[in-house]
Structure 1
Amino acid sequence: MKSKLDKGLSRFKLIFLVTTLFSTFCFAQEREIAITIDDLPLVASQMNTPNNQKRSIDRFNKIIEAFVTYKVPATGFVIAGAIEKGQWEFLEQFHKAGLMLGNHTYSHYNLNQMSAEKYIADVARADKILTPIMTNPKYFRYPYLAEGNKNTKQQVHDYLAEHHYTIAPVTIDSKDFNFNEMAYKIPFRAREAYILHKLKPRYLAYIWKQTLRAEKKSKGQSSKQILLIHANLINSYLLGDILEMYQKNGYKFISLTEALKNPAPTISLPSFLESARTQSEVLSEEITAK
């Protein structure tokens, strides 16, 4: 017969074992993601008329508000040559909100289609413009995720390292540009309703499908994800919905710096042939994701 003390110890051991297993399971299932947004300050309207200026300001504000509301330490990547008059204030506002800013080149060139020398000169030109507003550590994102071929990749990589840049990879590609293109095919007056009621469920479903695909590549490990989106029209409307989706599915928002400590398998544009795929070819993939 076991004494009351023995029974008490056995019960304690059982509770301890169950608690330990539960904690281990929760830790193993921990989901973390860094949100990165490319092509700042683009919000799809030129700053050439009062109405366009207002639209650009409103859209950019909605992006910042979504990040602040969900407490997301996001990183934005700036195309230095695309900063129009009045848009430097957008970047300052982004920075003041506690968000990070990195280099996305001056001209948004595709390294798979040009010399290393020309590309490096373009990065350096952007660096000179963005230095006053870039945050530390310094991050660089390849346009199109194109890292070059055997003749250019190492040269550019060495330049970035010499100038203290950390390359920002991607583990989840939203391919939002395809959905954004769908929105622009809709007449202006009907566009907002189309985005909010027709496009939204398709877009969110596709991002989640991409997320599950990235998780599968991680093979059950608690790797940190890095999402790529762009500062475009649909995200000015739907960024809050994207963040809410991740939050409801147990994701914790982390900085790019934190994500790079143990990133999930990353993706890139491997070759000229891949980068030359037509928009319609990629778009067909999205249609099948309905």
Structure 2
Amino acid sequence: MAAPPSRGVARARRAPAIAVTIDDFDLSDTPLMSGEERDAAIRAALNRHKIKAGGFVAGKYVNDSLSKRVLSAWSSADHIIGNHSFSHSYFSGNNPDALMADIMMCEPLLSEYPSFRRLFRFPYLAEGKSREGRDRMRMLLKQREYANAHVTIDTSDWYIDNRLKARLKADPSVPIAPYKRFYLDHIWERANFYDGVAQSLFGHSIDHTILLHHRLATGLFLDDMLSMFRARGWQLIDAKTAFASSVFAMEPDVVPAGQSLIWSLAKADGRFDKLLRYPGEDGDYEAPKMDAANL
């Protein structure tokens, strides 16, 4: 197991830094945007801010010419393409060999693209509810030369997106500005929470990876989100820069394993129990706030 966090983790920058990672790549059409339009908007925002993201693709969505066009475009732009398993199933810790087989089932769908890297993101950030399953899975990943593509800033962007799409289906003319404000406020609040915990753990900010999904809200609001971070003093960095940090090699000794890497390191530390909820992020936390705002 990795040593506990310390101030010895090197960092040259003082300002927090953030890299974009996007999960799933379900390219289904949505209100306001087709899957292809949504992807074009996401890549345009990344290009505008001159950063390279990480895309973690669930193999079950790679099924037609659109997927090939999208993944080719991501690879041509030098965005990382990583493995999110084929089936996108929750890993409880039971049968890690089956999960490894599912990961390897996904790999041939992605490995043809030059920017593919053996980075694996656990679906639902679930790394196992038992030490035996967790440790077996960690060993299997190392045997296949995969690294855990940790998230440090977890979000409930998917829940905000679900609410936005449901409202648009019911009323296509509904204003999206209030949803954008809620989305940006949510992202900003969660980013500062996780960075605050990181500062308590390490004595400084770290290179963060934020969890977003290939959804309508990302297509609509990613550019605004990146502009917000830049305007408020955060640095925008490439995903490969973040993943190269020694922080991402840490293996917190916690069960259930998973969640944000910062959440897990804080849980293992033992000083932050009053700050940590489980799961770290969920729609249940955002529902009352969205209900109150009539969103």
TM-score bracket, normalised by the shorter chain, equals: 0.7 to 0.9
CA shift, 1:68, in A, is 0.6
Out of 192, 204, 209, the residue aligned to residue 226 of structure 1 is 209
Q: Which runs of 5+ in 1 are unaligned?
A: 1-26
Aligned to 1:185: 166
Match of 1:284 among 253, 270, 287: 287
Total equivalences in the alignment: 253
Q: TM-score, normalised by structure 1?
A: 0.77
Aligned residue in 2 for 1:36: 21
The change in CA–CA distance for 1:189 and 1:286 in structure 2 (over 3 A counts) is: closer
Task: Provide the C-alpha distance between the structure 1 equivalents of 2:173 and 2:49, rounded to a whole number of angstroms.
Answer: 23
1:243 aligns to 2:229 (yes or no): no
Does the 8 A contact of 1:34 with 1:253 survive in 2?
Answer: yes
Higher Cα Rg: structure 1 or 2? 1
From the superposition, tell whether residues 192 and 94 of structure 1 become closer, same or farther in structure 2 (CA, over 3 Å): farther
Shift in CA distance, 238/216, structure 1 to aligned 2, threshold 3 Å: same
Q: Is the 8 A contact 1:183 1:191 kept in 2?
A: no
Q: Specify which of 77, 85, 88 is matched with residue 97 of structure 1.
A: 77
- Gaps (5+ residues) in structure 2? 1-11, 249-260, 268-277
CA distance in 2, matches of 1:223, 1:110: 28
User: CA 1:244/1:279 → structure 2, altered by over 3 Å: closer, same or farther?
Assistant: closer
TM-superposed CA distance for 1:151, in Å, is 2.8
Q: Confirm or deny: 8 A CA contact 1:225 1:263 kept in the other structure.
A: no
Residue 287 of structure 2 aligns to which amino acid in structure 1? S
- Residue 23 of structure 2 aligns to which amino acid in structure 1? D
Identity among equivalent positions (%) equals 24
Q: Secondary structure at the match of 2:82?
A: strand
How far does residue 34 in structure 1 lie from its aligned partner after superposition? Answer: 1.2
- Aligned-residue CA RMSD in angstroms? 3.0
CA distance in 1, matches of 2:132, 2:292: 36
State the match for 2:252 in structure 1: none
Q: Which amino acid aligns with 1:32?
A: A
Large movers: runs of 4+ above 6 Å: none
Selected match of 2:194 from 194, 211, 214 = 214
> C-alpha separation between the residues in 1 aligned to 2:87 and 2:173?
30
1:65 aligns with 44
Does the 8 Å CA contact 1:103/1:130 hold for their aligned counterparts? Answer: yes
Report the counterpart of residue 78 of structure 1 in structure 2. 57
1:266 aligns with 2:246: no
Q: TM-score, normalised by structure 2?
A: 0.76
Identify which of 130, 135, 140 aligns with 1:154: 135
What letter matches 1:33 in structure 2? I
- What aligned pairs does 1:105-116 form with structure 2 within 5 A after superposition? 105-112=85-92, 114-116=94-96
